[in-house]
Structure 1
Amino acid sequence: MSSSTPPYFRDRVAIVTGAGSGIGRATATALAEAGAHVLGVGRRREALEETARAHPHIVILPLDIRAEGAADVVVAAVLERWRRLDLLVNNAGTTAVMPLAETDRSVIADLFDLNVTAPSLLAHAALPYLRDSSGSIVNVSSTYGHRPLPGGAHYAATKGALEQLTRSWALELASEGVRVNAIAPGPTKTDVLAAAGLSQDTIDEMLDHERGRIPTGRLGDPEDVARWILYIADPLGRHITGQVLTVDGGLELV
């Protein structure tokens, strides 16, 4: 990506959650290559350290963003080091396979805690500094934030909530110069399913099924999604806000 990414983000400062792998790692790397200083946040120190090795502009903060006061800790770390904040990428998230017949209160709570509450608190903590920089927020949703997912309705509901937050915040903050958009990836080659506790056989079966439904005939790569996160967060793109851009190889059309 570095050979074709202009330095639009030079000297800008970004927070990327879930930066230890997948879309988060690809986004942190792409932003750093485009000139940004990046704070990569995640729970797994070793994974974050691997991300940091991709570029000297990536600094890491091992932290569970669901913890009490975590949002304030993240924003304070950015301000202490760089004295500004231009971009928040709410990428961290979790999924769960849970048919209605197997509904579990704790699973629902965990899904909403990481996928909805934590991004909301981070956006709240970041807002004063995004106002100062005329910055932006990019929320990472899913194609299933706006299409049904049998057996995964509560995951889809959290992503639907995140998309509605995106639109509402965009309208609320437009007059203050803060843009809010979302990227909605389709099935992508990441470790999110493994992190949800699914066996490799189950993961392979699910991905093979999804691949067969995608019109382009392939799963997404994290770099595919990262590229569009950069495009929609581009500081020069002052006239795009409140949008949910689906990057799913045409799956939304099927």
Structure 2
Amino acid sequence: MSALTDKVVVITGGSSGIGHAAALDFARGGARVLVTGRRRALLDEAAALHSNIEGLVADVAVPEDASRTIAAAVKKWGRLDVLVNNAGAGAILPLADATDAAIANIFAVNVFGPSLLTTAALPYLGAAKGAVINVSSTFGQKSGARLSHYAASKAALEHLTRCWALELAPRGIRVNAVAAGPTESGALTGMMGMSPEQAAAVEEQERQQIPLGRRGQPEDVARWIVRLADPASDWITGQVIGVDGGLALT
């Protein structure tokens, strides 16, 4: 039996990309997984891939959805062992074009949402001696023109990771983060709002800049999320692990 058998995992933004890959890895390891997202069709597709995956329509940017998400997992399976704050928002946003709405949207998803979800999960994670894994980005540490607010939100998430790790260690809750590099997840045309032509140009530029010579696959990042959640990692907390082909070094 896997150490994850019958553990209960909540993954935000779990209907595609890194979250989807992590949900499959957890489910194949025997965990019960609740994935959230805003589109029912994608959630249904994710749930159809494994009997251990359930979907819930929820928006990380909506404060009320935080407690509703955690309550749904606990109601169905009676416990919560792992929270993966994976849902993300970003934009190519030059400072000259920044608006309060655009900045607020990025921080609502990348900072406020994980904070409220983790707060709602605390009683159950404490009872289970569970784990929180936050999904950050290489740009939480690496500067990028026209990415200032996205990068700042990920830097904030990484520092929340370290602060929460200290605060929650006495309760037996571990908190870590994975800083993902560019992956083949459709984020450029989706989250970042680029045209297919713009995305293709950026992807080629990234391939040339990444020391290991390729963009990542969602599975490259997902396996580290699962490893950090595994009880075998029970002496690791407060860490931000870069999974980016060496991009942060450039």
Secondary structure in 2 aligned to 1:141?
strand
Report how far residue 68 of structure 1 moved.
3.6
- Separation in 2, partners of 1:174, 1:46: 38
Q: Answer whether contact 1:11 1:36 (CA < 8 A) is retained.
A: yes
- Separation in 1, partners of 2:101, 2:61: 14
Q: Answer whether contact 1:94 1:192 (CA < 8 A) is retained.
A: no
- Separation in 2, partners of 1:143, 1:65: 21
Q: Answer whether contact 1:7 1:33 (CA < 8 A) is retained.
A: no
Report how far residue 235 of structure 1 moved.
1.4
Could you tell me which residue of structure 1 aligns to residue 18 of structure 2?
23
- Corresponding pairs, count: 249
Say which of 213, 216, 223 aligns to 1:217: 213
- Separation in 2, partners of 1:127, 1:195: 31
Could you tell me which residue of structure 2 aligns to residue 183 of structure 1?
178
Could you tell me which residue of structure 2 aligns to residue 3 of structure 1?
none
What stretches of structure 1 of length at least 5 have no aligned partner? Answer: 1-5
Say which of 132, 135, 148 aligns to 2:130: 135
Q: Answer whether contact 1:25 1:51 (CA < 8 A) is retained.
A: yes
- Separation in 2, partners of 1:72, 1:151: 33
Map Cα deviations across residues 214-240 of structure 1 (whole Å, 9 max, x no partner).
Answer: 011100000000001011111121100
With structure 2 as the length reference, what TM-score do the two structures score?
Answer: 0.97
Could you tell me which residue of structure 1 aligns to residue 30 of structure 2?
35
- Separation in 2, partners of 1:228, 1:248: 12
Give the % identical residues: 49
With structure 1 as the length reference, what TM-score do the two structures score?
Answer: 0.96
Secondary structure in 2 aligned to 1:195?
coil
Equivalent runs, 1:120-159 vs 2, <5 Å: 120-159=115-154
Secondary structure in 2 aligned to 1:172?
helix
Say which of 244, 247, 250 aligns to 1:248: 244
Q: Answer whether contact 2:138 2:180 (CA < 8 A) is retained.
A: yes
Map Cα deviations across residues 131-175 of structure 1 (whole Å, 9 max, x no partner).
Answer: 000000000000100110111110000000000000000000111
- Separation in 1, partners of 2:110, 2:58: 16
Could you tell me which residue of structure 2 aligns to residue 102 of structure 1?
97
Runs of 4+ in 1 over 6 A off after TM superposition: none
Which stretch shows the higher mean deviation, 75-84 or 96-105? Answer: 96-105
CA RMSD, 1 decimal: 1.0
What stretches of structure 2 of length at least 5 have no aligned partner? Answer: none
- Separation in 2, partners of 1:67, 1:214: 35
Secondary structure in 2 aligned to 1:84?
coil
- Separation in 1, partners of 2:26, 2:38: 20
